[in-house]
Amino acid sequence: MKALDKKLLRDLRHIWTQVLAVALVMAAGVATILIAIGAHRSLDGTRNVYYERYRFADVFTSATRAPVSVVERILRIPGVSIAEGRIVKPVLLDIEGMSEPASGLAISLPPGRQPHLNALFMRSGRLPKADAGFEVVISESFAEAHRFTAGSKFKALLNGRKRELKVTGIALSPEYIYALGPGEFLPDDRRFGVLWMAEETMEAAFDLDGAINNVTIKLLKGASQPAVIAAVDRLLARYGGLGAYGRKDQASHEFLDSELQELEAMRNVLPPIFMIVTAFLVNMIMSRIIALEREQIGLLKAVGYSRSGIAWHYIKFVLCISAVGIMIGYGLGQWLGRGLTRIYAEFFRYPFLIFDSSTDIFLAAAAISATAGLAGASGSVWQAATLPAAVAMRPPAPVAYSSLFSRHLKVITAFNQVTRMTLRHMVRKPLRAGGTLLGIALSLSVLISSLFAFDSIDFMIDTLYFRTDRQHATLSFADDRHPRALQEAAHLPGVMRAEPARAIPARIRNGNKSRRIAVIGKPRNADMSLVVDLDIRPVKLPRQGLVISDKLASLLDATTGQYVTLELLDGKRRSVEVIVSAKVRSYIGLLAAMDLDALNEIAGDGPRISSVSLAIDTNRTDALYEKVKALPAVASITLQRVSLALFRDTLAQNIAMMMTVYTSLGVIIAFGVAYNSARIQLSERARELASLRVLGFTRQEVARILLNELAILTALALPLGWLGGYGLAWLTAQGLDTEVHRIPFIIDRDTYAWASVVLVAAVAVSALIVRLRINKLDLIAVLKTRD
Amino acid sequence: MAAVVFKAEDVTKTYVTGDVAVHALRGVDLELFEGELAVMLGPSGSGKSTLLNILGGIDTATSGSARFKDLDLTGQDERTLTFYRRNHVGFVFQFYNLIPSLTALENVALVTEIARDPMSPAEALELVALSDRANHFPAQLSGGEQQRVAIARAIAKRPEVLLCDEPTGALDSKTGVLVLDALMSVNRELSTTTAIITHNAETRKIAHRVFYFHDGRIARCETNETRLEPREIVW
Ligand SMILES: Nc1ncnc2c1ncn2[C@@H]1O[C@H](COP(=O)(O)OP(=O)(O)OP(=O)(O)O)[C@@H](O)[C@H]1O
Ligand SMILES: [Mg+2]
């Protein structure tokens, strides 16, 4: 090995703790890149392969009842490559050992074969037969939740008649990678399952002989999706078509999209922070090293080492630090990536999940980190390379402390000697002091942006369950009913109050912007299921006009007071202009609501309701469930209590994982910055401190002098970090703001406080480690060396 | 008559710091011959180091010309000067300037690795009688030993010139003698042109010629008819 390389390795070993501290920050950056991009690719790539292999449809639509022949006509629409008709019906499930009814979605399968579109991945068992009773293939998550296997049996209410279904197989479908029950926004494996049954069985059970109520379509390459959708809608209009939609509006696909969007946001926010801090830390270390090695550099030049040779020597130094960081980052990324994959595996049902660990991301992450390190070192390396050899041979001139500072800032005389020393020192190295301050502030910001999720979720729970949907349960009908169904519901056992609602699928349009939504009609004097304004106060729905959530408003570019077009896809399928009378808040999906009577008026099919909110006597729920399980009209019942528990559980789990990761990241930054800053100060001021020790200062006092600066910088960093945390939390909230969901941007004062406590603790620990080194300060050696 | 190795003509050097100009050299003429050992004396600030740095290619003259054999040292770019230093010049400094994280042997290897026709590092240490300390780090060596390592490092590349700026400045007399012995034997055996700056006037007695600096000029030059061995001079 070259002598110069030996020097390199020994120098690295000499400051290994500092190297490690920087490497950890860099590793965090590499890991976040690997996770965010890797997971993004895994999710996206796996989905694409899955879609491709199992022929996920491009366009979906349903109708009340259409003749099978309509499929032929759809096939003739230009741009359509495959069209397949089927029957899809919500069913209520009665499962042994479960008092509350579960919901199922029954989907027909063509006789004896896989469908052309949305083929099933059979985990086990076989496809159902038509003539062997009520055979079903069930979705895997549902099967797992109930430990169903081929041969298991459970009951379902098919078109008002209770039937015993026999499981013949367990399957996954590209249509239900993310499987949401009706009215839910998180998957509940116990309470929702997809059931595939033979076409013939379903035709018979639902009186749909020779008819279908759902069509899936595959487009030709280059076909115009809007054109096909329009043509399909025209064809199905008279069969009660509910409007065709593309993958973008398909629930499972849409949710996966939103997940991808979140990962993108993570990728855009975190890695840059780590890279900035990395660059700064490398800068701090390298400037100190080069200051310390001035004479060595001069010597190397004098004996004939070239500028580039010397530059390369220090570049290698940085590359070594980077290599350590990249290695740790790689390990960390793999490990955390696996954790994330586990979370995905729980939510998303894929037959296979490839965690993409392709080398190109790794190389890119490595290149980015090394670049950040080199960028940080560039100034120092340049300085080393251009240091004139002759100048380097002289010992450095005594540092010129800024006299400006003491002259112009009279305040300084007000401080004691120690503080004065600290302040002068800080002013002499403004870049380092500033960088340290910034680094600590950034770390605090990351901590705040991780902890704020708690506040946000608390607020969201309060809003969702205690301010908007305050009912105990929601009963949804398979088809819209006459309002008398409300009275029937009110007389169910245990029901204390009942409140109607109607949901009509519609397209809402403003100019060329449109969205497919469900318009919700609620009574003006609603007391259970409410709409809240932007300040989360209950809104009394206007007699006329529509209220829409601010997210929908911004997607449509619509403002209060203007008219938007509502194309109802049910009832008389009218297209009407309605005024947007207010913007309201909603955290899940896209909300458009109006007065129930006004909605029925424009729907034009007489008074109808599609669901009922219930207040129930919790002592009598079992009786209620028992009754509901036998009600033919009911498609599903959702229970707020169960839904809230699920919400808490799921988020608690996810947030706990994210929090652990983010908090560790924040602590790593704090530690890396504080430790390096203190170590470098110790190196710079070793002589001064040793002199003080010789003069009779205690270790305690000397330590205080050294750590004073860190303490002052940390104190100054707090407000900056709070501000940055606010901004970072805002960015995080933005990242979670998708069409599927968004989170309230709320940061409690406690969060600022806790984040600050964690930060101060991290800084204190690094200070303590440096403090231990002061104990080892070798007075004689330090005084002997020329600084 | 031996060949001329260095030839300086009317070399000046002016340092400008802020609005003060320091005239370190005010016009120096000098010739050094092959195999010659020159000692340079003069009060502090008289420009000795400045001239040596210019001759060694680590500084450049403000005006005038300085030549090493056929190479004009004035107005050369960094790269040429680097290769000049790498291939022709050996430096010894007052404060040794060893790399603390390298052993004695490795400090020498640092130079032999980039030189054209070096001796082995062990051989160089042998010449300064330090073979038994080859694997010691600078911190484990005395000042005199460190300086001998520095000399070994300077001569290991078989330089044509050896430029020593106060090589005994930080040493006691006994150790100083050892260092001067090492320099003289290198000068004799390898016939390396050697220039030694010193504040010890007695040292002049080991030189072929002595240059006296004063206020940025060479005030006079003496030729010694007879030379003394380092151990014979009085400190
Ligand atoms: N980089 C510089 N900037 C400004 N002035 C300088 C610089 N280098 C040297 N000088 C000045 O040039 C003059 C000559 O310096 P030089 O180092 O050559 O003296 P010297 O004869 O070697 O002195 P000494 O015996 O003390 O080493 C001195 O006045 C010195 O202050
Ligand atoms: Mg000098």
In a domain, B166, yes or no: yes
Task: Count CB neighbours of B65 within 10 A.
Answer: 14
Beta-ladder partners of A747? none
Do A580 and A559 meet the contact criterion of CB atoms below 8 Å apart? yes
Residues of B in contact with A296 (CB under 8 A): 97, 99-100
Please give the angle made by the CA atoms of A776, A781 and A786, to the nearest 5 degrees.
130
Domain definitions of chain A by residue range: 54-254, 429-470+641-787, 495-616
Q: pLDDT: is A247 or A405 the higher one?
A: A247
Nearest to B96 by CA among B58, B159, B149, B163: B149
HEC string of A437-487? HHHHHHHHHHHHHHHHHHHHHHHHHHHHHHHHECCCEEEEEEEEECCHHHH
Interface mutation target, options B101, B135, B162, chain A, most CBs of A under 10 Å: B101
How buried is residue A483: exposed, middle or buried, by Cβ count under 10 Å (0-12/13-18/19+)? middle
3-state helix, strand, coil in chain A (%, to 5): 55, 20, 25
pLDDT of residue A408: 47
Look at residue A403 and tell me whether its pLDDT is greater than 90: no
Residues of B in contact with A382 (CB under 8 A): none
Look at residue A427 and tell me whether its pLDDT is greater than 60: yes
* Per-chain mean pLDDT for chain A: 88
Determine the Cα–Cα distance for residues B233 and B200; give it in Å rounded to an integer.
Answer: 10
Q: Are strands B37-41 and B63-68 parallel, antiparallel or unpaired?
A: unpaired
Share of chain A above pLDDT 70, in %: 95
Determine the Cα–Cα distance for residues A226 and A233; give it in Å rounded to an integer.
Answer: 10
pLDDT of residue A594: 95
Look at residue A405 and tell me whether its pLDDT is greater than 60: no
Residue contact A295–B109, C-beta within 8 A? no
Counting ligands in written order, the one closest to the CA of B93 is: 2
Those residues with Cβ within 8 angstroms of residue B96's Cβ, 6 or more apart along the chain or in another chain: B138, B143, B146, B147, B149, B150, B170
HEC string of A555-568? HHCCCCCCEEEEEE
Per-residue pLDDT tens over the stretch A512-552: 999 999 999 999 989 999 999 999 999 999 998 999 999 99
pLDDT of residue A718: 96
Residue linked to tokens 């400094």? B93
B28 lines ligand 1 (CB under 6 A): no
Look at residue A68 and tell me whether its pLDDT is greater than 70: yes
Name the residue of chain A whose CA is nearest to B96's CA. Answer: A299
pLDDT of residue A648: 86
pLDDT of residue A88: 95
Look at residue A660 and tell me whether its pLDDT is greater than 70: yes
Residue contact A299–B113, C-beta within 8 A? no
Determine the Cα–Cα distance for residues A574 and A536; give it in Å rounded to an integer.
Answer: 32
Across residues A15-38, what is the average pLDDT? 90
B223 lines ligand 1 (CB under 6 A): no
What are A378's two structure tokens? 């560039």
List the domain range (segments joined by +) for residue B43: 35-59+82-232
Per-residue pLDDT tens over the stretch B44-87: 999 999 999 999 988 889 999 999 999 999 888 888 888 899 99
pLDDT of residue A571: 79
Nearest to A476 by CA among A506, A497, A500: A500
Confidence of residue A391 (pLDDT cuts 50, 70, 90): low
How buried is residue A664: exposed, middle or buried, by Cβ count under 10 Å (0-12/13-18/19+)? middle
Determine the Cα–Cα distance for residues A478 and A484; give it in Å rounded to an integer.
Answer: 15
pLDDT of residue A783: 59
Per-residue pLDDT tens over the stretch A616-638: 998 888 888 888 888 888 888 88
Residue contact B56–A10, C-beta within 8 A? no
In a domain, B137, yes or no: yes
Counting ligands in written order, the one closest to the CA of B53 is: 1
pLDDT of residue A260: 86
Please give the angle made by the CA atoms of A757, A763 and A768, to the nearest 5 degrees.
120
Look at residue B235 and tell me whether its pLDDT is greater than 70: no
Residue contact A2–B113, C-beta within 8 A? yes
**Collapsed DSSP state (helix, strand, coil) of residue A783:** helix
Do B63 and B26 meet the contact criterion of CB atoms below 8 Å apart? no
How buried is residue A501: exposed, middle or buried, by Cβ count under 10 Å (0-12/13-18/19+)? buried
Determine the Cα–Cα distance for residues A576 and A257; give it in Å rounded to an integer.
Answer: 31
Span from the CA of B23 to the centroid of ligand 2 (angstroms)? 14
Counting ligands in written order, the one closest to the CA of B41 is: 1
B95 lines ligand 1 (CB under 6 A): no
Confidence of residue A415 (pLDDT cuts 50, 70, 90): low
Residue contact B89–A4, C-beta within 8 A? no
Residues of B in contact with A308 (CB under 8 A): none
Q: Report which DSSP code applies to A387.
A: -
In a domain, B21, yes or no: no
Please give the angle made by the CA atoms of A30, A36 and A40, to the nearest 5 degrees.
140
Look at residue A354 and tell me whether its pLDDT is greater than 80: no
Across residues B108-114, what is the average pLDDT? 90
Per-residue pLDDT tens over the stretch A196-237: 999 999 999 999 999 999 999 999 999 999 999 999 999 998
HEC string of A272-327? HHHHHHHHHHHHHHHHHHHHHCHHHHHHHHHCCCCHHHHHHHHHHHHHHHHHHHHH
pLDDT of residue B101: 87
Look at residue A59 and tell me whether its pLDDT is greater than 50: yes
Determine the Cα–Cα distance for residues B188 and B161; give it in Å rounded to an integer.
Answer: 13
Look at residue A493 and tell me whether its pLDDT is greater than 50: yes
Across residues A152-168, what is the average pLDDT? 91
In a domain, B76, yes or no: no
Confidence of residue A416 (pLDDT cuts 50, 70, 90): low
pLDDT of residue A394: 64
Look at residue A769 and tell me whether its pLDDT is greater than 60: yes
Confidence of residue B185 (pLDDT cuts 50, 70, 90): confident
In a domain, B143, yes or no: yes
Question: Edge to edge, what strands does the sheet with B63-68 contain?
Answer: B20-33, B4-17, B63-68, B71-72
**Collapsed DSSP state (helix, strand, coil) of residue B32:** strand
Residue in A299, A309, A388 closest to B97 by CB:
A299
Counting the structural domains of chain B, the total is: 1
Nearest to A212 by CA among A59, A60, A64, A55: A64
The amino acid at residue A292 is L
Nearest to A320 by CA among A26, A673, A650: A26
Determine the Cα–Cα distance for residues A489 and B147; give it in Å rounded to an integer.
Answer: 102
* C-alpha distances out from residue A521 to A464, A518, A531, Å: 18, 10, 11
In a domain, B24, yes or no: no
Per-residue pLDDT tens over the stretch A102-128: 999 999 999 889 999 999 999 999 999
Residue in A2, A7, A786 closest to B101 by CB:
A7
HEC string of A225-262? HHHHHHHHHHHHHHHCCCCCEEHHHCHHHHHHHHHHHH
Confidence of residue A653 (pLDDT cuts 50, 70, 90): confident
Confidence of residue A414 (pLDDT cuts 50, 70, 90): low
Span from the CA of B51 to the centroid of ligand 2 (angstroms)? 9
Confidence of residue A479 (pLDDT cuts 50, 70, 90): confident
Nearest to A531 by CA among A565, A558, A499: A499
pLDDT of residue A413: 52
CATH of the domain at B176: 3.40.50.300
Could you tell me the fold of the domain covering A495-616? Barwin-like endoglucanases (2.40.40)
Per-residue pLDDT tens over the stretch B135-172: 999 988 988 899 889 989 998 988 999 999 988 887 78
3-state helix, strand, coil in chain B (%, to 5): 35, 30, 35
Indicate which residue's Cα is closest to atom 11 of ligand 1: B24
Indicate which residue's Cα is closest to atom 30 of ligand 1: B45
Name the residue of chain A whose CA is nearest to B153's CA. Answer: A303
Q: Report the half-sphere exposure of A685 (CA within 13 A, side-chain side).
A: 26
pLDDT of residue A407: 47
What are B177's two structure tokens? 């003698």
Beta-ladder partners of A611? A476, A501
User: A354 and chain B: CB distance < 8 Å anywhere?
Assistant: no
Do A509 and A651 meet the contact criterion of CB atoms below 8 Å apart? no
Do A183 and A95 meet the contact criterion of CB atoms below 8 Å apart? no
Chain A window 228-267: which residues touch B at a Cβ cutoff of 8 Å? none
User: Is this prediction's ipTM beyond 0.90?
Assistant: no
What are A77's two structure tokens? 């629409």
